[in-house]
Structures are given as C-alpha cells and as structure tokens.
Structure 1
C-alpha cells in the first residue's frame, strides 16, 4: 500500500500527519501490517474495474496531451466483458488480464459484474450506462452467443447490415438507454467489412448532498500558458468536505459527497499547469481507498466550475497500451462466428453535467470558515461509488471553456 504524507485539515488548523500510523509497524517488529481493503466479491470487482479504468485513462491522456479528457470506465468494462464471452479460453484470459479480472478468482464473475452494474445504475446515483456489441450481419453468426450475453447482461448483441442505417440504429439505442441524454453517438457509419464493434456510453448528473446557493457566477479560470477564461462557477461558504494536501503530488485533494453514496474527488495542483501526469500515474483502486480513509472533515468556502461536457473517442488504438496487441491481431472470437473476425472499433461517448442543487443547506455559521478551495485552474477529478469502490467517471479539465454538450 502506498504510504503518502498528507497535510491534513482539522477544523481551521493545518497539521502534518501520516496516511498510515507508524505505531502499527512498531508493534509488529518494524514490519508494515497489510490491511485487506477489498473483502467481498463486489468490492474486489469494483477495484478491478477501477484499475482498468485508471490504466485506460492514462493511455488516453498520454496520447491526448494537455487537453480535456473524460471516460466512464465501467461502461467500457461492461462492453469488453460481453465480448470476452465470445472468445476462446486463451482469448478470454488475454482480455481478463487487461480488464484486471485475472486476480479475482471469482467463479461467478459475470453474476458479480451484473449485480455491480445494477447497483451503480440505481436512479439516485445519477448514472446511466449503455454497453452493447454490434456485429456485421454478413458474418456466419452463432446464435447461442447472442442468447448467452442477453441472459447474463439483459442486452442482446445486434447484427447490422452495414451502411448509413446502422448509425441511426445505434444512436437511437444509446439515446434510449441514457434517457435521451447521449445523442449522436456515431457521426459516421461503421466499417462495411466483417466486424465486431463495441459501443459504450454513459451520462452522469449526480446531485450534491449539500447544495450551492450561488451559481452561474462568471469567474476567471486560469489556463496554462494562456489568458484566463471566463466560465460559470458554483460557490458556497461553510461547505462540508473532506480534505488533504499531498506534498508528493503537489496538490490539494477534496472529497465532496453526492447523494446515494457517491463521491467526487478533486485533485487540484498547487500551480497552474496542464501537465497532470504525476497525478494520473498515482491513481489506483488501492490508493483511492487508502486516500478516502485519510482525508479529514473541514468546512470550506467552496468554488467549483459548472461542468457541461460531451466527449467522444474510439478506444481501439488504446487497447495496445493495455497489453492487447496480440489479442487484437488474433482475438479468436470463435464463439461468435465460424469466420475469422476482429474488433473494428471501440466507440465510447460520455456526457456529464453538474448543477447547484442538493437536498440540504450548509450548516449556519456565525462567521464563514477561513479555509477556501477554489477550483479555478486545471484539475483532475473522479466520481466513485463508495459502497463498491467502483470508478464511475474520470476526467481531466484543462480548459472548461472548450467543453460543450
């Protein structure tokens, strides 16, 4: 477990303390006592899907330097897991390693994932997910595979004739699954050659536990190497958060509670920089779980950008960065078709909004707290389901002026 020194907030005073207490090591003869953070099949799977998401996010940010980047990794996991059901044992092992399933030893993996997906889709969490396989109708398809995926995940892979009508078919289905929030998923037709295509999409609009009283106020957001941009912000005094400062990562971290056991974590660098590589490289499921146990409660004057974003990407080129080069050349999808078939694209789209609403007001205080947390420069954030630890959404914001729905 990574040991990180945090400058922790206690009331309005700041003091240094260790993320892990040294006395435990003394009592065991100087050896660090290992604490199992993930103890149930659901939390272990939540950690696996999160680590896959962090790896995928790093692969994307390394190719898209100094730009806004967003992902809903759990929807990608769902689509690729459906695809793994069509492969040989060797192909399944290759995919499971990339998806971080290989260490789980869960004989009921698909059932555990089905239950996890159902739990993070409960209406109060604000997350809608679409994940499906689309296949060329001209392939000699095995219908048993269609039934197997539908029985397990409640969505049947779809065979398409190829051409412009496919675009409407896919776009209509994604819009339906996300309550009409993710529109125009595809802008052009899928390849006409025999193909398998994964579709994954997500919409997120969670509600805060504590509302913001001031919203839509135009304020400056500092941009690396450029003039500040004016964007709408949400602001509230005496806002309850959990906070800490990581001196190794040179950032201040805030955990903001959302409704239905969901949290937003914001990593705010000390300086105005679009180079967030050090932060991105630190993220793992274990690090985040340890972090969540280390941050301290505080009342702060909180200022956040009002986010409204839409982001699309074909994730196929990134799969080589996850160790799937050999699998991409020969995916052995023998349970899908008698013909040789490869993955042609892995299209992914996310839409996210934040709003000031919450179900309670901040506590009334005679005087505002002295602590301020202003997210007014490039930052990294993630949305996590606290019950399972699963990563629902992750993003890097370097210029919110460029964000559009």
Structure 2
C-alpha cells in the first residue's frame, strides 16, 4: 500500500505530518502493512468494487489521456456481476478476478453486493442507478437464469426485438430509474449479431454538509495548453475540510463532507496539467481509506467549480485491459442460453450535478487565510464513508466542455 506523506496547510506555513513515522524502523513499517482496514462483508465488498473502479478508470484514462471522463464504478460492478451469473465456472472465475471478488471469500457474495447497493442508494446519499442485462431474442434465454437475476437483484433481464424500438425502450427505462436525470443512454440500435448487452447508468446529486454562500461566480479555470476558460464557481470562507498535500504525487488533497456519510475527495495537482497518470496510478481502496484517516481538519476559503455533466461510453473495449482478453474470446455464457451468447456492449452513462445548498452554515469570524481554489485540472471521487464504496470518479480537464 502506498503510504502518503502529507502537508497540513496552516496560514502561510506548510508543516509535515506523516501517515507513517519514519522513526518507527522497518519492523514497525512491515507490521503496519498488515493492518486490516476492511473487516466486514460490506466494507470488503466496498473495497472490491472500488478497486475494480479504479482499475477501470485507469484503463479509460489511458485511452483518453487529456479529456474529461467520469464513471460510476458500483453500477458497472453490478452489471458485470449479474452477467457472471450466466457464465460457466471458468467464466465466473475470470470475471470475479477482474471484479476483485477473488479476495473476498464470501459465500453470500451476491447478497452482500445487493445489500451494499441498497445502502448506497438510500435517498439522502444522492445516488440513483439503473442496471440491466438485455438479450437478443434469437438466443432464447434460460428461464433459470432470468429468475435467478431477478430474485437476487430485483431486475428481470429483458429480451429485445432489435431496431429503433429497443433504443426507445432502454432509454425510457433508464430515465425512469434515474428520475429522468440520465437521458438518451443509447443513440443507435444495439448490434443484432451480439446476443448479450449490459446497461448501467447512474445519477448523483449529493448535498453538502456545509453550504456555499456564493454560487455562479464566473472565474478563470486554467486549461493545460490553452487559454483559461470562464466557469461558474461555488465559494465560501471558513469552510471545514480535511486536507493535506502529497509531496510524492505533487498534489493537494481535500476531503469535503457531504450529507449521509458521503464525501468528495479532490486531488488538485500543484501545476496546471492534464497529465494526471501519476495520481491515477496511486488510487486504491486502501490508499483512499488511509487518506480518510490521515487528512487533517482545516478551515479554508474554498472555491469549487459548479459541476453539471453527463458522460457515456461503451466499456467493452476496456475489459481486455482488466485481464479479460481470454474471457472476451470465449465468454462461455452457458447458463444464459444453449446457443452461443456473445457480449456485444457494456454501455455506461453517468450524470452529476453539484449545488451550493447544505444543511448547515460555516462558522463566522474573520475569513480563513488559507485558500483552496480548484481552478485547474483535477481528479475527484465520491465515496460512501460507511462502506468505503466508490460511487463516482472523474477527471475534469476543462469544465467548460461539460454538458448535461
């Protein structure tokens, strides 16, 4: 596990605060490496879905190195986990390894994931999801598979007729499941010669624990290799955060509390750069859990872009980067149909909004001297603190290019 070195920013000074004492010696460091951070089925599942999400995010970021990208890892995990229920033992093992389930040793894996999904979808957390398997009519799905998925996850895999009507049906269902917030997941018909498709969508609009006093103030956002763009910012003095800086990653990190045990982590590089590969490589469930216990409280003058975004992609080409090349060559989905069932797409779409509202006001007094201005490319993630599950992750290189 990467152990970060942090700086707490106080006034004009930066003072070091190590997550691991250098004076403890190699023996103490080795002992700390074995501390178990995830001890319950829910937190272990949260760590597994998060690590899958970080791996998927890295794969997508590597293919799109200088663009805005966003994912809801837990919804993709649920889609592929449902798909694993239709595979042979070999196929299930391959999918479970990519999904990081091979570390869980959980005989009730599907029930644990179902419970985790229910807990992160409680109304106060601000997350809604839509996940479903769609099947070509020609493959004649086995009733046992359909019943098993519906019993476990509450959504019946749907057979398709093919053509534009399917596009309308899928888009309408996704919109209904996300309260009308995720629109037009599909823009063209699914391939008819592929028997199986997964759809996953998510919308997030969490509420801050502490409100912002100003919103919509137009400020410059620095763009790597281009002129600054004007974007609306949320601003507030004396805003409570947990904060630190990582000298190895050359970034400052802030954890901003949201309601119902959800928080946003913002990773702000020291320089204006769209190359965040070093940051991306550092992200694991263990590292972020360590951050949540190591970052230190601070009162800051906080400026944060007001985000309104949607992003969609077919994740199928990325699965090979997650160790699933052999599985993609022979998906072996024998429990879905007696006919060969080829995976045709892993469609994913997310939408997200941030608003200035919160359930409490910041403390009064003189404005905080310390400023945390998110005015250049950054990474962020939304995390459920109870389970540790990664709900949302994104890279913003140019907020002006975001659309919803």
TM-score by length of 1: 0.97
Q: Find the aligned partners of 2:99 and 2:253 in 1 and give their Cα distance.
A: 27
- Conserved 8 A contact 2:46-2:387: yes
Q: CA 1:16/1:335 → structure 2, altered by over 3 Å: closer, same or farther? A: same
Mapped pair 1:380 → 2:379: yes
- Conserved 8 A contact 1:11-1:298: no
Please name the residue that 1:398 is paired with. 397
Please name the residue that 1:368 is paired with. 367
Q: Find the aligned partners of 1:194 and 1:216 in 2 and give their Cα distance.
A: 46
Q: Once the two structures are superposed, what CA deviation does each residue of 1:58-116 show, in whole Å capped at 9, x if it has no partner?
A: 00000011000000000000000000000000000000000000110000000000000
Please name the residue that 2:172 is paired with. 172
- Conserved 8 A contact 2:11-2:369: no
Q: Find the aligned partners of 1:164 and 1:30 in 2 and give their Cα distance.
A: 59
Please name the residue that 2:305 is paired with. 305
Tell me the secondary structure at the aligned position of residue 45 of structure 2. helix
Q: CA 1:29/1:241 → structure 2, altered by over 3 Å: closer, same or farther? A: closer
Shift of 1:32: 3.2
- Conserved 8 A contact 2:209-2:360: yes
Mapped pair 1:354 → 2:347: no
Tell me the secondary structure at the aligned position of residue 384 of structure 1. strand
Please name the residue that 2:200 is paired with. 200
Mapped pair 1:272 → 2:272: yes
Tell me the secondary structure at the aligned position of residue 138 of structure 2. coil
Please name the residue that 2:103 is paired with. 103
- 5+ residue gaps in structure 2? none
Q: Find the aligned partners of 2:122 and 2:189 in 1 and give their Cα distance.
A: 32
Q: Find the aligned partners of 1:76 and 1:54 in 2 and give their Cα distance.
A: 12
Equivalent pairs, count: 403
- Conserved 8 A contact 1:139-1:194: no
Mapped pair 1:127 → 2:127: yes
Q: Once the two structures are superposed, what CA deviation does each residue of 1:324-345 show, in whole Å capped at 9, x if it has no partner?
A: 1111111110010001111100
Q: CA 1:258/1:30 → structure 2, altered by over 3 Å: closer, same or farther? A: closer
Q: CA 1:85/1:67 → structure 2, altered by over 3 Å: closer, same or farther? A: same
Q: Find the aligned partners of 1:143 and 1:269 in 2 and give their Cα distance.
A: 52
Equivalent positions of 1:315-330 (< 5 A) are 315-330=315-330
Shift of 1:166: 0.3
Please name the residue that 1:157 is paired with. 157
Q: Once the two structures are superposed, what CA deviation does each residue of 1:259-315 show, in whole Å capped at 9, x if it has no partner?
A: 000000000000000000000000000000111111000000000000000100000
Q: Find the aligned partners of 1:363 and 1:4 in 2 and give their Cα distance.
A: 30
Q: CA 1:57/1:194 → structure 2, altered by over 3 Å: closer, same or farther? A: closer
- Conserved 8 A contact 2:48-2:100: yes
Please name the residue that 2:235 is paired with. 235
Shift of 1:395: 0.3
Q: CA 1:152/1:66 → structure 2, altered by over 3 Å: closer, same or farther? A: same
- Conserved 8 A contact 1:139-1:339: yes
- 5+ residue gaps in structure 1? none
CA RMSD after TM alignment: 1.3
Shift of 1:196: 0.2
